[in-house]
Amino acid sequence: MTSVLVTGAGRGIGLAITDRAAVVRLHGQLPSQLDGVVNNAGIIVQGPVETVPLDDLSRQLEVNVTAQIAVVRAVLPQLREARGRVIFMSSVSGLITLPGTGAYSASKYALESLADALRMELRPWRIPVSLIEPGPTRTDMWGGAIDDYDRMTSQLSPAHRELYASHSRAIPRRSLRPSIALSRPDTRSVATGATTSAALSLHSCRRPRQPSPTRCSLAPPNPEEFSVNDNSNETVITSYAQAPTRTVTVGGTTYAYRELGPKGGIPVVFFVHLAATLDNWDPRIVDPIAQNQHVVAFDQRGVGASTGQVPNTLEEAADHAYEFIAALGFGRIDVFSFSMGGMIAQDLTVKHPDLVRRLVLTGTGPRGGKDMDKVVGVTYWDILRATLTRSDPKEFLFFSRDATGKSAAKAFVKRLQERTLDRDQDISIKALRTQLKAIQKFGRSAPSDLSTFTQPTLIANGDHDRMVPTVLSEDLHRRIKGSELIIYPNSGHGGIFQFHDRFAPVAVDFLGASA
């Protein structure tokens, strides 16, 4: 019979582990072979870091971190005997910190680091270590969360209550009640012990780490080294929602892509944004272009249905894009890019200027652009806001929060759901983090010499882009001689999606030009 130890903190789920002496005695009370331990213990200490009693901070770390490690150490002999596994219940708070929950988030960050160390240290005994990052789950721990919050605020001094009033207003008491449905397993993640995470509306946990990928060769691949999953005798499809997903494999890496529109002529390759997969292109932009041109959209390495690991730099991502393009046999392309995709497209054009005929750069900026590296903080903050309001993060990241922006955001997200079959896999948290770090490096790098660009270039953005500040689109326009610039009013990062009815015809005319 399978034996699993589940721990808790005295309320909610699991065996209480707050008694250190009881933890020490576990070794003699458990079966000689233990198939697994689920560390589920957790308490929440709330309050601004300045005001949290140090004893409460110690108790937070003791229960959520130290006691859990003590349990694992106590049962490791039985786990080694049975080749069992270790599971830690973390939280989205191990990714994002909210004002007033610094102590709780600190415990989750610490737990994630220790779990990662254990994963590597226990590998010789084939003891898997998994980490689960669920959103709020209905247990007794949450039952008293509002009372704890009220107790915390009542214990603040009048001076501190006034100092931190804005933070208290930013976290309504109702947000402490887990109205979000219970986390449910994702069938794609069962093998890694994952559950659904509330962050970013992602539905897959961190992928197990793999050895660093070998940097790809920039030489066009030998035909014997790649294979294409293709069907050539098909009716021309001009609807992105109906475009089939195909794959091409190059040197062991499989790229997923979709293509539509009439073949022949110069294809338009779409470079997508941060955290995006094939399902994140607005059909109101893609479909008009595909009426007259061959359109190809693809998943970068380690994202969606493409295999491999997400590259650590956008320069590497450009190398991978070239590898993909060469595998499809394209010697000249047009580029349509958005946000991070525009950064990759610039690096591709710098390295392979003869490959790119025409260039569309939207919602993006140049390497080394001012404040571009701040995208990490903006992204995490808006993911948090979306999590608390059960919204899609793109509603905050791409659009302004006035009535017009909110309406455009809802319409955009709805359009992304028009494809109902053969949808792509969601990006993992690990992949998102890697992409954010790559963008940060791009923003802190020495500028590229864009004055060498001879390609006709169309640049577009909204007038209030919080992710990649609008001034960076203007900077691109100054750096790329002869480029065209469109700035849409009362719009943000996703200005081209808010004004798709105006922008799509411009893009069609620009890409359809003969020279």
Give the DSSP letter string of 359-417.
Answer: EEEES---TT-TTGGGHHHHHHHHHHHHHHHT--HHHHHSS-SSHHHHHHHHHHHHHHT
Continuous segment of H or E residues that includes residue 116: helix 102-121
Domain limits at 301?
229-512
Q: What is the pLDDT of residue 202?
A: 30
Residue 206 belongs to some domain of the structure: no
Mean pLDDT of successive 10-residue stretches along the chain, which has 515 residues: 76 57 74 86 85 89 89 88 89 81 91 91 90 70 59 76 64 44 33 31 33 35 43 76 96 96 95 97 98 97 97 98 96 98 98 97 96 89 90 95 96 96 94 95 96 97 96 97 97 98 97 87
Are residues 69 and 176 located together in one domain of the fold? yes
Q: Are residues 260 and 373 in the same domain?
A: yes
* Predicted pLDDT at 43: 83
- Do residue 102 and residue 238 come from a single domain? no
Model confidence pLDDT, tens digit, residues 263-299: 989 999 999 999 999 999 999 999 999 999 999 999 9
**Is 216 domain-assigned?**
no
Q: Are 421 and 303 contained in the same domain?
A: yes
Question: What is each CA distance from 26 to 59, 208, 492, in whole angstroms?
Answer: 21, 30, 56
426 in any annotated domain: yes
Same domain, 261 and 138: no
Report yes or no on 192 lying in a domain.
Answer: no
334 beta partners: 268
Q: In what order do the strands lie in the sheet with 484-488?
A: 226-229, 245-250, 253-260, 295-298, 268-271, 333-338, 356-362, 457-462, 484-488
In this structure, the answer to whether residues 334 and 451 fall within a common structural domain is yes
Last residue of a domain, one of 150, 183, 216: 183
Q: How many helices and strands, by DSSP H and E, does the chain display?
A: 19, 14
Instruction: Give the pLDDT of residue 168.
Output: 55
DSSP string for residues in 187-242 = TTTGGGT----SGGG--S-PPPP-PPPPPPP-SPPPGGGEEEE---S-PPP--GGG
Domain presence at residue 198: no
194 belongs to a structural domain: no
**CB contact at 8 A, 424 and 278:** yes
Residue 177 lies in a domain: yes
Structural domain count, the chain: 2
Q: Are residues 326 and 473 in the same domain?
A: yes
Q: Can you give the CATH number for the domain in which 73 is found?
A: 3.40.50.720
Instruction: Indicate whether 262 and 367 sit together in one domain.
Output: yes
Are 144 and 248 part of one and the same domain?
no
> Residue 475 has what pLDDT?
97
Count of residues in the chain? 515
Residues involved in catalysis: 104
Same structural domain, 168 and 272: no
* 55: in domain: yes
Is residue 305 located within the same domain as residue 161? Answer: no
pLDDT score of 144: 58
Query: Which residue, 413, 506, 515, is CA-closest to 460?
Result: 506
| Domain shared by 361 and 508, yes or no | yes
> What's the CATH number where 498 sits?
3.40.50.1820
